[in-house]
């Protein structure tokens, strides 16, 4: 049993450095981040991409499971 535990520790110990060296995924383009729309459009109070709706207060809804986002548009401009 000790040999099996030791073998597992060695195996997992060797795997960790290899995982750390793997390339990091590229960040999403800023155009895909719906929250960024509010920063770029300070006069908009509510905006949506058809799946997620965000408010100026910093809260966004959760998208539906099969929703396909479209262009982000302002739904409620400042008065």
pLDDT top residue among 16 and 61: 61
pLDDT tier, 71 (very low <50, low <70, confident <90, very high otherwise) = very high
Q: What is the pTM of this model?
A: 0.58
How do residues 29-57 score in pLDDT, each as one tens digit?
544 578 889 889 999 999 999 999 999 98
Cβ-based neighbours of 77, under 8 Å, separated by 6 or more: 43, 44, 45
């Amino acid at each position: 049993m000790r040999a099996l535990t030791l073998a597992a520790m060695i195996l997992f110990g060797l795997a960790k450095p290899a995982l750390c060296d793997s390339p990091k995924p590229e960040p999403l383009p800023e155009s895909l981040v719906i929250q960024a729309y509010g920063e770029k459009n300070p006069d908009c109070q509510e905006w949506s991409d058809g799946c997620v709706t965000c408010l100026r207060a910093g809260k966004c809804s959760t998208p539906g499971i099969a929703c396909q986002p479209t262009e982000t548009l302002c739904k409620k401009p400042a008065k």
